[in-house]
Amino acid sequence: VLSCPCCFLTVCMDCQQHERYTNQYRAMFVMNIIVRWDLALVFDRKLKQLAPLKPSSNDEQNITHSNNTTIPFEQDEEEARKEKMETRTTATSSSAPEQPIYYTVCCSNCHTQVASLDNTEEIYHFYGCLASS
């Protein structure tokens, strides 16, 4: 069982622990989460971690969480849909080699980033969550 590290809300009941990184888990079935389709992430080979696909243009409405993740708060569904389409168009039209795109996953209660969604395999990668048996 995985819980949000900030509000302790259960986000996953069945998951598999990563072999090398003990604080990371993967799961297919989740609960109490919000997928932020407007916040796409790609793997940065230099930093060896996920990084935003493109910087957010609306910094005034952002919240920075304790893990230094900037997440826009309370965005219109219409705006999110437009940005999602723009992100997909940008990602598919770029001349760079195609990388897997991950999407930010937040706790539905406190909006803390708890995971990333690999949309190609439909797997959630959790990190920094509280694990219990």
Closest of 91, 87, 118, 117 to residue 105, by C-alpha: 117
Total-model pTM: 0.65
Task: Domain count for the chain, please give it.
Answer: 1
Beta strands in the chain (DSSP E): 2-3, 10-12, 16-17, 24-27, 33-44, 49-52, 62-64, 70-72, 102-107, 113-118, 123-127, 130-131
* pLDDT tens-place string over residues 34-50: 999 998 888 888 888 88
* pLDDT tens-place string over residues 50-96: 888 865 455 444 444 444 544 444 444 555 555 555 555 555 544 45
User: Domain range for residue 73?
Assistant: 2-131
Res 16 pLDDT > 90: yes
Check residue 43 and give its pLDDT: 84
